[in-house]
């Protein structure tokens, strides 16, 4: 079920199977992006709505050219600077990309993962991989192979184990909106770093239905237990202390059981906080609690992506 056999992984993918793969951001549920039947399996395993598009993964910028009609200069500059890495770019797609991958929209989201195991796998394949996060739709994204096995292990034949993810939040998604570079999802590449290269970048609002890019739904990345951004003091007026879980940035507080609190980074390191975010939410979700309170982090660099995930974990859930 879990292993490091790249050849086995490649053979399964060539035979139309879907498997778990590591990336530097989170683990993905991968299938042949050019095979609509394989892509439909991804949606079925995740229980993902078909209106939510997927990201395709490949190994080189040259290969991207085979799947897109054009590559606007600002986006190419970003790709040359930050790929391989935690950047996804929205580009006009060629007909070779199935409608199911893009939810029928004219653009496809493409990225080059930097994880060495998955790069080696992609180099062996003559097709790109569609690979959303390897978790049930809407739940916390997986950052280890065991997370994938715990949630989807009964539905897929193999999980390629690349160790814990080094970034821990999904890729940043950038496209062109009204002729200007625009961020559609905050992620592992900081907006500030991209702006140093190409100048001001716009920000697209989340979409609650028919999203323009992957990962844009308002409610997402959520534990099963209700998540709120209320203060601990407010939570203590409504819940018993031992029924509260807390996700804290730098330090625990008094009044809540110590083992009901998860600290993202005692030193205030936003990179460490991002790596530990989804693991922390999973740990709190496993506790006998009625509510999880989350604390925002400084809203800069990777902190923007962390706060984005916290806001969506706490968003009202669709009926």
pLDDT tens digits for range 168-180? 999 999 999 999 9
Architecture of domain 2-203: Alpha-Beta Complex (3.90)
Contact of 188 with 293, CB cutoff 8 Å: no
Q: Is the dihedral of CA 254, 258, 262, 263 positive or negative?
A: positive
Instruction: Give start-end residues of each CATH 3.90.870.10 domain in the chain.
Output: 2-203
CA distance 172 to 90: 11
Q: What is the largest CA-CA distance in the chain?
A: 58
Tokens of 198: 């190409």
Considering the entire predicted model, what is its pTM? Answer: 0.89
The burial class, CB within 10 Å (0-12 / 13-18 / 19+), for 68 is buried
Sheet of 244-248: strand order equals 227-228, 291-294, 244-248, 261-263
Contact of 70 with 76, CB cutoff 8 Å: no
CA angle 207–114–94, rounded 5-degree value: 55
Mean pLDDT, residues 277-301 taken together: 96
CA distance 81 to 95: 28
What percent of the chain lies above the pLDDT cut of 90? Answer: 87
**Predicted confidence (pLDDT) at residue 210 exceeds the cutoff of 50:** no
CA distance 32 to 56: 9
CA distance 105 to 116: 31
pLDDT-based confidence at 198, cuts 50/70/90? very high
Instruction: Give start-end residues of each CATH 3.40.50.11030 domain in the chain.
Output: 227-313
Mean pLDDT of the chain: 93
3-state secondary structure of 261: strand
Contact of 14 with 125, CB cutoff 8 Å: yes
Mean pLDDT, residues 23-52 taken together: 93
Contact of 2 with 116, CB cutoff 8 Å: no
What is the pLDDT at residue 130? 98
Which helix (H) or strand (E) element contains residue 110? Answer: strand 107-111
CA distance 197 to 230: 37
Distance between the two ends of the chain, CA-based, in angstroms? 34
Which helix (H) or strand (E) element contains residue 283? Answer: helix 270-285
Tokens of 131: 């690979």
pLDDT tens-digit series, residues 114-172: 999 999 999 999 999 999 999 998 899 999 999 999 999 999 999 999 999 999 999 99
Is 227-313 assigned to CATH 3.40.630.30? no
Q: Can you tell me which residue has the tokens 């990309």?
A: 97
């Amino acid at each position: 079920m879990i292993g490091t056999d790249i050849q086995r992984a490649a053979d399964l993918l060539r035979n139309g199977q879907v498997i778990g793969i590591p990336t530097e951001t989170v683990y993905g549920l991968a299938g042949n992006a050019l095979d609509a039947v394989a892509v439909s399996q991804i949606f079925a395993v995740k229980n993902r709505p078909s209106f939510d598009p997927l990201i395709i993964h490949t190994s080189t910028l040259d290969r991207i050219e085979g799947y897109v009609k054009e590559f606007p200069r600002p986006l190419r500059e970003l790709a040359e600077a930050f790929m391989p890495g935690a950047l996804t770019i929205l580009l006009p797609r060629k007909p070779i990309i199935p409608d199911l991958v893009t939810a029928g929209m004219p653009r496809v989201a493409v990225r080059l993962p930097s994880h060495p195991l998955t790069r080696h796998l992609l180099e062996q394949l003559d097709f790109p991989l569609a690979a959303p996060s390897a978790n049930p739709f809407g739940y916390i994204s997986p950052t280890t192979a065991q997370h994938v096995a715990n949630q989807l292990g009964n539905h897929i034949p193999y999980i390629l184990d690349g160790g814990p993810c080094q970034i821990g939040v999904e890729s940043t998604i950038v496209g062109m909106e009204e002729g200007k570079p625009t961020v559609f999802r905050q992620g592992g590449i900081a907006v500030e770093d991209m702006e140093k290269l190409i100048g001001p970048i716009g920000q697209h609002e989340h979409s609650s239905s028919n999203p323009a890019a992957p990962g844009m739904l308002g409610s997402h990345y959520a534990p099963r237990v209700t998540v709120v951004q209320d203060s601990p003091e407010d939570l203590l007026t409504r819940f018993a202390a031992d029924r509260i879980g807390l996700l804290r940035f730098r330090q625990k507080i008094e009044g809540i059981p110590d083992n009901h609190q998860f600290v993202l980074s005692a030193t205030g390191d936003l990179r460490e906080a991002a790596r530990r975010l989804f693991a922390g939410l999973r740990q709190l979700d496993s506790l006998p609690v009625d509510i999880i309170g989350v604390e925002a982090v400084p809203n800069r660099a990777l902190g923007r992506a962390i706060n984005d995930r916290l806001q969506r974990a706490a968003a009202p859930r669709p009926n």
